[in-house]
Every structure is written in structure tokens, then in C-alpha cells.
Structure 1
Amino acid sequence: MSQLSRTLENSFNRFSDRRLVTLKSDFVYDRYTYGTIKNISLRLVTFFEKNNIKKGDKVTICSYNSPQYIYTFLASIFSGVILVPIDYGSSEDLVKKFMEKTESKFLITSKYKIINLKIKKIFIEDMDEVLASHKKGNIDRTIKDEDLFQILFTSGTTGDPKGVKISHENILSNIRSVLRVLKIKKHYRLLSLIPLSHIFEQVAGFFIIAASGAQTTQLKSRRPSEIIKIFQKEKINVIATVPAFLMLFKRKIENKAKENRKFKKLKKVLNFARKLPLPIRRRIFKDIHKVFGKKLEIMISGGAPLPRDAEIFWESTGIRIVQGYGLTETSPVLALGDIYDRRVGSVGKVVPGVRMKLNDDGEVLVRGKNITKGYYKNPEATEDLFENGWLKTGDVGKLDDNGFLFIKGRLKNMILKPSGLNVYPEDIEDILNKMELVKDSCVIGIDKGHDVIVTAVVIPNKKTDEKSIKKTIDETNKHLENHQKIQDFIIWKKKDFPRTLTFKVKRLVVEKEVENKTHEKSESKDEIIHILSTLSHLDAKDIKEDSLLFSDLGFDSLKVIELSTQIEELLRKEIDEYLINSKTTIKNLRSLVEKGVNPENKLKLDEKMFWPVFLPFRFLLMEFMYFISSFYFKSVKVKGKNNINKLKGQYIIIINHSSHLDFPTLAKHLPLRLKTRLATGAAADYFFRSKNFKQIFVSKFFTYLLGSFPLSRIKDGKSSSSIKQSFEFVGEIVDRGWSIGLSPEGTRSKTGKLNSFKNGIGTILKETKLPVIPIKLNGLHDILPPHSKYPLKRGHVEIIFGKPIKYPGNMSTTEITKSLEKTIRGM
């Protein structure tokens, strides 16, 4: 049995009842304990066996971060199956290439990812339900420390892909090294933002957390406003991320200060605060800490160099910055800062278990148990990776007298983006040099402060103009992954590039010559085009309505987050950034912005509605309302009450809606344990307005005394508030352990007959995974119809309780909606 497998087994047994991971998906919070994750991982072991996936076989996973990703890691470690994690944003061609290279037998992906390959696969959205029917398997005790755990690819689309072989021993060695420097406390809650296909996130966002009994929180959306909500709700203590995120939030704070004309004051206070003790710094910048939930203590930065000004900024606010350094090939951490002993600009000291030295060129060489044995089926690249048994990092470093490592630059040609993604110039040049107009090219990275611009320096093979070269660049980009795309180009006026004696291009010389020769770009008065031009570094006139954000403008997932931030700050619109993908055009983006919600006008869920102090008043009010209403009831006939009498847990209660008497009448006949923790949806445009005192009073009355929350509905072709916002409210309420009462018709029936259900109810049931109690009310429409303020006559009332229904996960939202409507019609 490998030491990694034994360590994780012991940790998951020890912390069995503690929460390990929370996923904030579209609007629901999925929470899993250590025990639950371990149990499902063992069921996945059985699933592998039933699908003839044995120890040493390869399984590819291409997904967004999720609990399913985590228990797939665990199942792989327990079974000896070798994982091939691939970035979720990768193209179908790249996924296919990596799977063929590794001879993967199975694919785990998302149903939202289009991968048309003839191979067995399962969607992560279905895994919990599929695995529930499997028995728990056994941990393979024959796995050895040197056995492979995963293969991680670091190269692009051309040439022979370099898949780094990571063993069980590599990972365990790095876990132990990191935890000897960085003490992770059990109460820590870490926010996971980097894809788990990145080894930095694997170690920081899962392995060291799991070994310490702490928690990790994942987000499907990475929009800054969503991240801020999670900081506040989950009380995040630690964030491990790439520099791009830290710079993004730094700019967001600075831009806010500029808006309020307080930027100079902010700078002065930051400079002054640097010299003060940490608690005083946190006190001075309490407003910033309030935004981040007041609990954020540590920011871990890795994957790329963190600019000095960003490090000083966050340290000055009272948040400790811990920089790390490493490579995928080193599993990954080689050096790490100590929160009590750091130097500005340093990536820390060499971690225990790693030996490091500098060669004559100043290149960092390392060896240790965390070092890969090489690249998968690539002996030539493996041989080039080592020098007398020492791994060559390709980075130039300096060790000071106290052992602090400072990275000075790179010997390799690789361009490192702030997002942590690697771009290999040779991959791009191989394609660009095949183009008709190109004699030779040199691809370099130009540092623009908050971004590194992939720039092609081109020598044309005949006299031509920039417009023709631009078309050549566009054609080249069609063959590149999103993070590789050429963002700018320069025409080299000389006959050839400066070269070494071995005829290699002197890239640093080229880079210095072209750094200041960037194009003068035309600007646009169109705000969206201006934002896109700024982020993509493209000329505004080259951005067309049918331009694709990813393939034409070079966007990646991080750029999309920056885009949504700019739109939120400059245009005052929140957009659903996860709707932006490789097929999104500028025209599509405009549509999303038009449908976006002004964050200042958004309704908020009033948390006081959950206060226990309101429950007795709510109960008495409901009793009083029913007492008054009952004068108009000739009789009340209840059917199927036995279907709900012994129910425990949470439910979605669904009723037909024909009168304002519906929920008060229903509440009287619900079990006490259900109605005291029940929130009912009420029309946002009718009951939750705030233009005058009367509307505010009605809103508060419905919130505190009736336990209602604002629910968007479609009216005159437009939603009265964001549909997504209503879903968010549902997610928050369910996460608190409450049940939900809804009417899927959206409004009261004018005829008393059941209206068609809105498809949103299918989405709610599918995402929350809660059982539904179908209830039909008859007779109330005749007593108090929609057009009347007061009851018109007395009548007979009938309440029919159906049996709870749990819809299977493989049903679509439309199928669920139609099935539920059919059920209530037939009652």
C-alpha cells in the first residue's frame, strides 16, 4: 500500500464527520464531509472495476472543480488507476490528442462540455446518483509509492505532447514538505479558484487541506462579485491562487478609491501602514477586510511571479502573502514563504526534502522525492530535463545569505501568463512559419504590468502590409489553444533576427528591441468595444460584431472574469460569465449585457427572516388568517394527509395558485416541523417594491411575518428581476436547512384552472435534488378570485396532498416540469 494512500485513508477516517468540500454551483450549495467523500470514492472504485478499468489503466478527467473531481482523485489513489487531468477550457482536439497519447480507457467530464469521442464516459453531474447504486470497493493494498498517480500535460497542440509523470511518492513528499512550512489549522476554510487540472491547486486546494482536516470551497462561477459573496458567507481564511487574481482584486479596490477621489489617500495610508503591526493594519483597513468576510488571513500566490507592488499592497492591508515556487515536474512546490519569516520579492526558502543548487548560468537545479521521473513516452524530452541527476528548472535564481530564493528570469523560451498557463513559443512558430507570407518568426511575451502579451515578431518573405500579416495571424490563431493565441504582432524590418553561433534566435535581444514598438491603437466610443480592446490589446477597429471572444480576441477563462469585472464596474451590469464560451461573439456579449442586472438595483435576501424571534408571531398570524378565512369555508376536505404526517427533512412544496388564500389555508394543515421552517416565494414586482412607505411596510410584513422571499416572474415578456437572482435566494434558503413553497404557474389563475408551469421549477428541483410534495387546492378561487380584494362568497375547500416525488438526476428540467404539471393536473 502506498504511503499516500495510507495517509489519506487515515486522514479521512480521523475527520470523517468534518466537512471537507463545499461547491457553490449555479445557485445551490453542495456540501460533503470527509466520510461522504471517502464512501463515494470507494463506490467509484467498484464502478471502475465494473467498467473493466484496472490498476495502471488511464482515466481522463476534464471538468470544472467539484466534489466529484475530489473523490475521483481519491478513487484513483485507492485503486491504482492513473488519472489524466485536462483543463476544462481545452478544445475537443486537444482532449482527443492527450487521450490518444495516454491510451485512456474512460472519460469523466461535464454534460456542458462538448466532446464527441467514441469512448465510455460519465458526466460529473450524474456521478453521485450513478454511484449510489454501487457497493463500496476495497483499497488496493498492492499499490507502491513509485506507482503513477497521474499524467499532467504542459505543452500545447503541436509537436509531441509532454505529459509529466507524477507518482504517489511525488505527491506525498510535497504534502509533507509544505506542511512543515505552512501550518494549516483545522478551522481554516480555503477558497479554491484555480482548476484542479493544475497541480498547484491539487496540492493547495485538496491534498494539504485533506491531510489537515480543514475545508475547501469551490465555485462554478468565478465572477468577482460571486467570489466576494463566498468570502463573506463561508468566512474564508485562506486563498491559494495565481497572481492574476490578486492583481484583479487590487485593481478593483484602487478603482473604487479613484471613483471616490480617495486614491491618493489610499496610497499614503498604505505606505504608512507597512511599518505597523499586523493587527493595527487590519484595523486601519477594516473596510477592505469587511468586503472579504473579515476572516481572510493568508493569500498563497503561485503558478507565476507576483509583482512586487501587489505583494506590498496586500501585506500593507494586513493580509499575509505567502509566495511559492515550483513546477509541474516538481509536484510542484520547491520553495515556500513562511508567514512569520518572509522577504518582499522572494518566493521563500527551499522546502524540507528538496535539495537545490545553482549552476554556472545561475539556473536553479533541484532533486528530491517530489521530482518526476520524466515525461510519458518521451525519452528525448526526459533526457533534456536532467543534468547529472538534477532537474533543470529553466529559471535563473539567486539565494541570499539567509537562504531566501529570488527568481530573476528564465533560461527557457517559455512564456508564463499571469493565469499560470504556459505558452511555448516553438508551438506557435511551427504553425506561423508554415504560412505563405512568413519567412521566419520569433514569438515573445511582452510584459504589460497586469498581463503578458503573446507577441509575434514576423519577417515577411516578400513585401507586404500590416493588413495582410494580420490575416496571417488570424489564420494561425485558428490552430492554437485559447491561451496560446497571438495577441499582437510586429513586422521585423531587418533581413534576419540576431542569432547565436549555433544560429538560434537571440530572443532577449529581439524582446528588448520590440518592447516599445507596440502599435498605436485606435479607440472607440462604444463602451463594450473599448473594454474589449483594452483587455485583448487589439485595435478597436479590428473588433467586429461577429468576432469570437476566444478565437479572435484571445480570451481565456481569466480574461472572461476581467471582462465581467469591467462590465460590472463601468457599465453597472452583472452578467452571467459562465454563459460566455468559445462560441460567444461580440453581438452575443451585447445581448448578455442588455439582460444584465444593475447590482445597485438588485433585491437582497433579508437574513432576518430566519430569526427564531419571528417564528411564534408567524405561527400566530397564520392561525389568525386561517381563522378569519374559515368563515367563508362551508367545509374543508383534506385528502392524503398521511402522505406528509411523518415526513422529515427538506422538501419543495408545490401548489396550484388561484387565490391569495392558498398558502394561509395550506399552512394550517402542514405538520408543525415543516411549516416553521418553510419559506414561500412571492412575486417580487408585487410584494417587494420599495418606492414608498406603504410598499416597504408590505415588503417587511411578507418577509418577517409570512416568511416570504422575492421571486422573479415573467411579465409582459420581461422578468421583474433577475431569474438567476431568484434561484440564488432558493439556494441560500435550502442551504440553511429550510423547505421552499412555490407555485410554478407564476401568477394566480384567472379561471381557477391550472396554468402551464414555468420551466424554472424544473431547474430548482434538478439543482437542489430535493423531493417535491405536490399539493392541489380546490375551491379557493371561487371564494377569493384574483380580481377581488375581499372574499365574494362562501364555498367548499379541498386540499389534496400527493406522495413525495424524487426525480432522477438524468431527467431534464423540461421533463421534470412537464411531469410535475401532469401529476398535479391528475390529482
Structure 2
Amino acid sequence: MGVHYHKRLMAHGPGETPSPGRAPVPARATLLDFFHDATRRTGAFLVHDDGYRTWSYRYDEVGAAARRVAARLHAAGLAKGDAVVLWGENRPEWIVAFWACLLRGIVVVPIDFRSAPALVDHIGGIVKARLLLAGEDVEAAAVTLDVPRWPLATMLRETEGESPGRGPGPGEPPPVPITADDTAEIIFTSGATAEPKGVIITHRNVLANIVPIEREMAKYQRYIRPFSPIRFLNLLPLSHMFGQAMATFVPPMLGGTVVFMRSLAPADIVGQIRARRISVLVSVPKILDVLREHVRHRFPETLAVQPPPDSGIAPLPKEKWYRRWWRFRRVHRAFGMKFWSAVVGAAPLDPELEAFWGGLGFLVVQGYGLTETAPIVTLNHPLNARRGSVGKPIHGVEVKIADDGEILVRGDNVSQGYFGGTTEATRTRADGWLHTGDIGGLDEQGRLYIRGRKKEMIVTPEGLNVFPEDVERALLAETGVRDAAVVGRHWEGEERVHAVLVLDDPAAMARVVQGANSRLGDHQKIRSASIWTGADLPRTEGTRKLKRTALRAWAESGEQPAVRPVTGEDPLQHVIGRFAKGRDDVDDDTPIETLALSSLERVELLMALEQQFQTIVDEGAFAAARTVGDLRTLVGDRESGIADRERPTAATLDRAGTTGPTGTEPDAPRRLGGTADATPFDFPRWNRAPWAYWLRRLSLPTWILPLGRVFAWVHVEGREHLEGLRGPVVFAATHQSHMDTPILLMALPRRWRYATAVAMAKEFFTAHFHPEGQPIGRRLTNGANYYLASLFFNAFPIPQREAGARHTLRYIGQLFEEGQSLLIFPEGKRTMDGEINPFRAGIGMIGSKLGVPVVPVRLEGADRLLHQKAKFPTPGRVRVTFGPPLYLEGDDYAALAGQVEAAVRALGNSKFEI
């Protein structure tokens, strides 16, 4: 008999009162009941950092957008039961589209945004999709599926009125009857099989997951309230059921906020956690692994948590959590004092990794589930977690262990089958239990422990079972082992334990196997081993699970790729070789995309380059590199004889060429791109402090602008174009004199005047930013001009001939987050005789990347007030004309800048004489 453990969901009956101190949980017939309750809130719900600026949306805004998109779906002829493919990166619009489909009874078919277009075509054909909803980070143009395509990016911005030409949209259609057994989504799991399987998930399946969790959380609402809002940084794909649950369902139970970010660089993750005051990180274990290496490098004292072999570092004694917290307070300060937990899923958590973060005083929570269980089976209680366990079954779920050790699950959360009703679905549920294929055990308290996969379990000739994970842990504990996988290899009719290794030194294979075997039982000992010459073993893209089927087939084939020796002659090749997956034909002309790196592997490559060359690599320039040779020049590799090649930067490698030639500063920090996005200067933040704002707010109307009006007699036209606008916006103005900024501030309505930042050329302040060799007098006057402009006009520098486009966009995005608008002069220089110079592509990039309307502004007559050659202004008339706002889309930034320039030139037909 197998071990059997279950918890039944005890719902309150009609009129029954919940326990004292416990908040009542509303009845949920379908997921739409949850949606309607959640979207009555007005607090912050979804935050998206797209790498340039941050977009924030309230619960009620998300609800309104979902209803609007649902109406569009109805108007487009989609009906209940139709399938819609949802293929996009994590972003608020993904959740809007998800709820919009559910409101109309439309079946959502989520696909991981990293999937190939061919897979999207294949799955779309299987479900007979009627529509494709595509994100910005996917190759939608490569999809041949013959269905309409809607961009996700517009689904919230158009609700704000930022996307013109679409009109108010259709009215709200009649409601669609939805039941608990209606299909909500079909999630395809491809794994290593040729034919993907679509798991049918109903409203009942998901409710069986979220209602027990909601009831449990209700017990602690009054304790959680002082720490609210609870913010989640969700790095799991929304196409994965666990990532979906931790963004769409769990945070609303707490009135929490979910943050999505584009970057997976560890420094960016830590910065995001600190800046957004994140409480909980949601990710795959691999993210914690990457963060562990980042923390060890940044805080060497953390090596004492798990001292490396032969390091001589004494391990720490066992301590209470508060002592560990105090010992590693520098780490906690780096993450921010609100951060306390990581919730991991989608892949097994290495006990050593869990122990590391626990040793620092952080809580790591893991659970267990499958796509077929929508997705949760067991979950560790945050206040009663047990290390190594995946927790207890949630209410309403039964778990038992079969005689052969397989975990069996039964409950309303279990899917009723696969799309199309495959025989496998019938076979696995013939006895009423879901056969998970996982091997595990239950302790006396009902906690579940996972030992491995049943089909991956190795049976020795002696009839003993070997779980690959146990042997892999012994291998990974050996020095010099970067990765390891254990599979069963058949030899003379018997199954033997075989190791596939990725080693720093392939010649050390015998030592590694011997060391691991010394800690293993006789039946677990490794009988044979192979060297895998790639950077990493093959894993699935989303969950990072080992592709054991492929590894077993490779091992059985007996093929042994030649091991390319690593020498110290070429440090870049040493790094690249770890990621080249066994290729021996990689040279400087090899396109990086042909290395087939996953998103996390790209992050690991970036970190490896930093470590090898002892430099700081900018992510934007790294992403812009196209070949291995680009990486060589970007890191400034002098050892390979390519020292004189121009270093590409995010600016010079960008398609648009937004910032022109790259400047070189001999004393700038050595980073990827030279002076580039490494930011050799800090953008001013002090001038946005309350004291600076109020000094500026008092000075402008009392003496600065009145003084300007003595010289500039300003006539304003086109103010009506600003009346319907909501900030922030970009004012793109012609540049005629040093009087332009006060003149334009005079022309702006009051609500814009005191909430606008001014961009000024950084090169104008060369004596301040690069004082070497500059006369002392010029350094003092130039520095004074910089600080006075920053203080009284809320100005900041933009590099024109130096790289730094990405960092500049990031700073402008922060201004927009604070409600500030931007005044910029796209010509980049003052006019000589009143002519309009060509607009630089940067204005196109700002308008498109940051998603803000651009208002063309034409300034006339200011060059007569204060000409370039004049030292003192001459009083006179000035005309300022505002045009209709432009909404820029696309990545041809030069062409977009041309649109703005044409709009400005068209404003010169006024009858007012100057």
C-alpha cells in the first residue's frame, strides 16, 4: 500500500461566519468573479520596466482596459470557444489580454515568448486560432499563421488616449454565460517530444488552486496590512502556469503590486528590488543561482556561508535568523530592507542554493506542481517552511505515494485531459489519479519531498533504484565541475549510471568521478562518463530543466566530440568556448546569434566577460554587439593583437545611429563601449529635491521670467493643441539662442511650466565635466553655469558626441515617471540666420521608445534678441507656435525625427509679424 495524504477544502456554508479575525472570502463560481472583485480596487497593480521607462497601472485601469479589449474581440467576430494565441513577453498588457479573452469565453493559448515562430504556427494550427496577440519582443513577422494580429503594446496605452486614430472603441457587448467547467486556457508543453501536448485548464481547475490560498491568506490580513503594499518582482514567464498564478491571481489577494522587468542581469535585478521596494522575488531557481554568484563577487564575506573547497574559509556556526540577518546586513541593504523572500517554481531547487540564501537570512519558498494541476499541488507555508521539502498539499488536493514511489494527485485542480483527447490522457487518469511521473515521499506531517522523475530513475542490474539528482549533487560538489547530468546508459543489456560533465579542465574527469563516487553508495557509483564540450548542458528555455532524453540518446550513441583545449593565449576564446556548445569553428566573424544562447546564458556570458576582463559591461552595448569580434573590441581585448579597432557602443551599433560619433575620454571608466553607457557622469537628482523645486517655483514667476519679459515680447499661437493633453509630453523646439528656455517657459501654460525638465548639450559644459587642461577661470564659470541652469531651469545634460543613449533614455524615463515633461532642441545647435537645422534622430528614439506624445514647437525671432555672436540681448518680438502632438511608432528613428522636423517647419505660416 502506498502512503496517502490529503486535505479537503471546507467551504463556509450559506450564512456561516468565518472564524474571528479572519477576513471573509467571497464565493467564486468562475474566474470572472475573482476578476470583478480585484478590479474594484484602485491601488497600484501592474508595473512594467521596459528598460527605458516604467509604466504603472491601477487595478481599476487594468479592469477597464480588459473590458475594452473584450469589446474589441466581440466586434471582431470572436465568440465563446474560439482560440486566441497569446505570444508575448511579461508585460501588463499580457494580463489585460488574458482577462479580456476570459470575459468573452475565448480560450487563451499562451506560448512562451522565446518560442520559435514555427512552433507558434504549429500550435496555432492545432487549436485553429482565430487571432494572434503578439508582444514587442517576438518575431511576429515570421509567423505564417493566416489570422489577424493585434499588438499587445497598445492595449493599455490606447485606453489612456495615447494612440490616436482608433476612436473610442465599441460599446460593451452583452455578457457571455461562463461556467466553472468552461475551458479558460490550453497550455502546450513541448519538452523533448516532437508533438506538443495541450493541457486543458478550466475555470474550476484554477479556482481549486487560488481559493485555498486566498482563504489561508485571509487569516493573516491584519498582520500583513502594516507591511502593505506587498510588491512582487515576477521573472517567471506568464505563459507558465506558476508565473501566471504569481502575477494574475496571488498578488490581488493581498492588494499587492506586480513588477515586470526586461533585463535579467543580476545587477539590474538587485537594483530593481531595492528601487521598487520589492518584498518577494518570483523566479526559476536558476535566477537565484545567478544572483548567488553576483552576491559572492560583490560581498566576499558571503563565501563563509558555503566555503569553497580548499579555500581555508571557516564555515559559519548555526545561528538564529536575526543573527544571520545582522551578520549580512550589507547584503540586505543592497537588496533593500523590504525584501525578505524568493518564491521559486517551474524547476527543482538545489538544496545547496536554498541553504545559501537561508544562510543570508532570506526565506526561500518552493512548492510542487505541474501544468496538469493548474499548477499547484503542494506549497510551503512561508511561516512554517521546511528546507528540502516542497510543502504540504493545498486544501482540496489529495496526494499519495504509489508502491513504486510515484507521486499521485487527485482533486479539482487536475486537468481532465489534453486537447484532442490523446490516449495518454485516458491512460494516466484511468484510476482517478494523475500519475505525475515524479518520485517522492511524505513525512509524518504530510510534507512532500521530491526525489526525481520516475522515467529518469535508473535501475541497476541489482534491481536497486538510483535517482540522478542524488548523483548530480555529488558531482557538482567537486571542484572544477561547471555542470553535470546523470542518465542511465545501457551496456551489454544492463543499465549503468553514466555522467555527462562540463568541466573547467577536461583532463580532470577521472578525479571528479573518483571524488563523487567516494560519497555515493555502491549502487549509485558512476560507471562511465563523457565530456560535454558546450558552455552548458542542454536545458529547456523556460524552466531550465535538463533535457535528459537528448542527453541519454547522445550518451548511448557513443559519440564523443573532440575536446578543444583551452589555453591562455586568447582570453576571449576561453570565455566564448564555454558557451559555444561544442563548436570548434568560432572566430571573430562568428555571429553571436549562431551560438544559440538562451536569455539566461546571455546574462552568464556577460558576467563571464566582466570577470575575465575585470571590467563593467553595459547591457545595452552588449545587446548591440553582433559578432564575437564586436565583443572583443567592446571589452578592449589588447592581448589578441586587435587593439586599434574602434570600440562599438550602444550608440554606434544601434540601427538608428542616434547619438552620432563616439567620443573618447582617456580617463573615463573602462566599460563596454569605452566612455559609453558606462555613464562617466551622474545625471542631476539634487535639482528635483523639494528644496530645489520650491526655490525654482518661487524664482521663476518672481524674477526670472519677469526679467526675460523685459527683452522678449512673446506672442503665442497653438495653445489649443495642449488643452486635451495629459502629461508627460516632449516639447521639440527649434533652437535659436540662449534665451530660448525662458521664452518657452513663458509660452507654456502654468500646468506645464513648472513640471518640465530641459535637455541641454553636455558638450557645452566640457570644462565642467572634463576639467583636465582647462583654465581655472573657465572651469569655475562653466561649472557655475551648469549648476545654475540645473537649479533654476530643471536642466540636465544630454551627450551628443559621446555615447550614452541608453542611460540618457533611462533618466528621461525616470523624469516621465515623476510626471515631468521634457523640453528638447532636436537640432543640437543654435541657428545662425534663423534657418532650421536638420533634426537629430534622438528625438525619434525618445518619442518611440518612451511612448510619449511629441509636441512640435517653432520659435521665431529669438535669434535677433540674442544672436550667437552677441554678448547682451536686444529687446524684440518673439513668436512661439505649438503644433498638434505626434505619436511616434517604429524603430527608424531618423525617419521619425524627419516627421517631427516637417511638423515644425509647417508651423511657420503665421500672419503675426515679428
After TM superposition, the structure 1 = structure 2 runs for residues 544-559 of structure 1, keeping only pairs within 5 Å, are 544-549=587-592, 552-559=594-601
Cα distance, 1:406 vs. partner? Answer: 1.4
Gap change, CA 1:274 and 1:207, over 3 Å in 2: farther
TM-score by length of 1: 0.81
Matched, 1:233 2:261: no
Aligned partner of 1:11: which letter? D
SS in 1 for 2:97: helix
SS in 1 for 2:445: coil
Cα distance, 1:756 vs. partner? Answer: 1.0
Aligned partner of 2:242: which letter? F
**Distance in 2 between the 1:444 and 1:64 partners?**
38
Cα distance, 1:628 vs. partner? Answer: 5.7
Matched, 1:674 2:752: yes
Structure 1 contact 654–772 (Cα < 8 Å) conserved? yes
Match of 2:516 in 1: none
Gap change, CA 1:390 and 1:486, over 3 Å in 2: closer
Matched, 1:404 2:447: yes
Aligned partner of 1:534: which letter? R
Structure 1 contact 375–382 (Cα < 8 Å) conserved? yes
Matched, 1:747 2:829: yes
Deviations 1:21-43 (CA, angstroms, capped at 9, x unpaired) = 01111412111111111111112
**Distance in 2 between the 1:777 and 1:371 partners?**
67
SS in 2 for 1:741: strand
**Distance in 2 between the 1:526 and 1:575 partners?**
23
Matched, 1:825 2:905: yes
Gap change, CA 1:382 and 1:538, over 3 Å in 2: same
SS in 2 for 1:14: coil
Match of 2:426 in 1: 383
**Distance in 2 between the 1:5 and 1:655 partners?**
50
Aligned partner of 1:171: which letter? V
Matched, 1:359 2:402: yes
Cα distance, 1:602 vs. partner? Answer: 4.2
Structure 1 contact 235–295 (Cα < 8 Å) conserved? yes
Aligned partner of 1:147: which letter? D
Cα distance, 1:106 vs. partner? Answer: 0.9
Match of 2:264 in 1: 222
SS in 1 for 2:578: helix
Cα distance, 1:625 vs. partner? Answer: 5.0
Match of 1:276 in 2: 320
Match of 1:208 in 2: 250
Gap change, CA 1:165 and 1:640, over 3 Å in 2: closer
**Distance in 1 between the 2:684 and 2:245 partners?**
38
Choose the corresponding residue for 1:801, options 881, 884, 889: 881
Gap change, CA 1:312 and 1:132, over 3 Å in 2: farther
Aligned partner of 2:91: which letter? S
SS in 1 for 2:286: helix
Structure 1 contact 270–317 (Cα < 8 Å) conserved? no
**Distance in 2 between the 1:813 and 1:601 partners?**
23
Cα distance, 1:549 vs. partner? Answer: 4.2
Choose the corresponding residue for 2:378, options 335, 341, 353: 335
Match of 1:777 in 2: 859
Deviations 1:178-226 (CA, angstroms, capped at 9, x unpaired) = 3455668551110111211111100112211133321101112333333
Matched, 1:534 2:621: no
Gaps of 5+ in 2: 1-26, 458-467, 474-484, 490-494, 505-530, 636-647, 650-671, 772-778, 908-914
Structure 1 contact 181–336 (Cα < 8 Å) conserved? no
Match of 2:669 in 1: none
TM-score by length of 2: 0.74
SS in 2 for 1:226: helix
Matched, 1:614 2:692: yes
Match of 1:395 in 2: 438
**Distance in 1 between the 2:194 and 2:555 partners?**
24
Gap change, CA 1:56 and 1:308, over 3 Å in 2: same
Match of 1:707 in 2: 794
Aligned partner of 1:662: which letter? D
SS in 1 for 2:79: coil
**Distance in 2 between the 1:356 and 1:580 partners?**
49
**Distance in 1 between the 2:30 and 2:500 partners?**
41
The alignment-based identity, stated in percent, is: 25
**Distance in 2 between the 1:150 and 1:813 partners?**
38
Matched, 1:663 2:663: no
Aligned partner of 1:404: which letter? R
Deviations 1:3-50 (CA, angstroms, capped at 9, x unpaired) = 2334323323431x1111011114121111111111111122122122
Structure 1 contact 645–671 (Cα < 8 Å) conserved? no
Deviations 1:412-449 (CA, angstroms, capped at 9, x unpaired) = 2499999xxxxx999xx9xxxxxxxxxxx999984769
**Distance in 2 between the 1:228 and 1:196 partners?**
21
Matched, 1:575 2:607: no
Match of 2:817 in 1: 735
Gap change, CA 1:77 and 1:269, over 3 Å in 2: farther
Aligned partner of 2:858: which letter? K
**Distance in 2 between the 1:590 and 1:505 partners?**
33
Aligned partner of 2:756: which letter? L
Aligned partner of 2:412: which letter? K
**Distance in 1 between the 2:104 and 2:354 partners?**
42
Match of 1:605 in 2: 683
Structure 1 contact 323–348 (Cα < 8 Å) conserved? yes
CA RMSD of aligned residues (A): 4.2
Match of 2:844 in 1: 762
Gap change, CA 1:147 and 1:580, over 3 Å in 2: farther
Match of 2:86 in 1: 61
**Distance in 2 between the 1:566 and 1:677 partners?**
43
**Distance in 2 between the 1:448 and 1:24 partners?**
35
Cα distance, 1:116 vs. partner? Answer: 3.3
Deviations 1:629-668 (CA, angstroms, capped at 9, x unpaired) = 66665x5444445665897643322211132221123223
Structure 1 contact 354–367 (Cα < 8 Å) conserved? yes
Gap change, CA 1:506 and 1:632, over 3 Å in 2: closer
Match of 2:104 in 1: 79
Aligned partner of 1:363: which letter? E
Matched, 1:586 2:664: no
Match of 1:368 in 2: 411
SS in 2 for 1:576: helix
After TM superposition, the structure 1 = structure 2 runs for residues 151-300 of structure 1, keeping only pairs within 5 Å, are 151-156=186-191, 159-180=194-215, 185=224, 187-258=229-300, 263-264=303-304, 272=316, 274-278=318-322, 280-300=323-343
SS in 1 for 2:366: strand
Between stretches 566-575 and 399-408, larger displacement belongs to: 566-575
**Distance in 1 between the 2:550 and 2:89 partners?**
39
Choose the corresponding residue for 1:120, options 131, 148, 152: 148
Cα distance, 1:822 vs. partner? Answer: 1.4
Gap change, CA 1:787 and 1:310, over 3 Å in 2: farther
Match of 1:103 in 2: 128
Gaps of 5+ in 1: 419-423, 430-440, 451-468, 490-503
Aligned partner of 1:707: which letter? N
**Distance in 2 between the 1:447 and 1:553 partners?**
20
**Distance in 1 between the 2:314 and 2:390 partners?**
22
Cα distance, 1:675 vs. partner? Answer: 2.1
Matched, 1:36 2:82: no
After TM superposition, the structure 1 = structure 2 runs for residues 437-452 of structure 1, keeping only pairs within 5 Å, are 446=500
Aligned partner of 1:8: which letter? F
Aligned partner of 2:277: which letter? K
Deviations 1:535-589 (CA, angstroms, capped at 9, x unpaired) = 45546x4433344545x534212212222333445432212289479xx543455
Cα distance, 1:815 vs. partner? Answer: 5.1
Match of 1:721 in 2: 803
Structure 1 contact 126–809 (Cα < 8 Å) conserved? no
**Distance in 2 between the 1:218 and 1:442 partners?**
45
Gap change, CA 1:749 and 1:385, over 3 Å in 2: farther
Gap change, CA 1:380 and 1:636, over 3 Å in 2: closer
Gap change, CA 1:223 and 1:264, over 3 Å in 2: closer
**Distance in 1 between the 2:684 and 2:402 partners?**
62
**Distance in 2 between the 1:819 and 1:90 partners?**
35
**Distance in 2 between the 1:485 and 1:300 partners?**
16
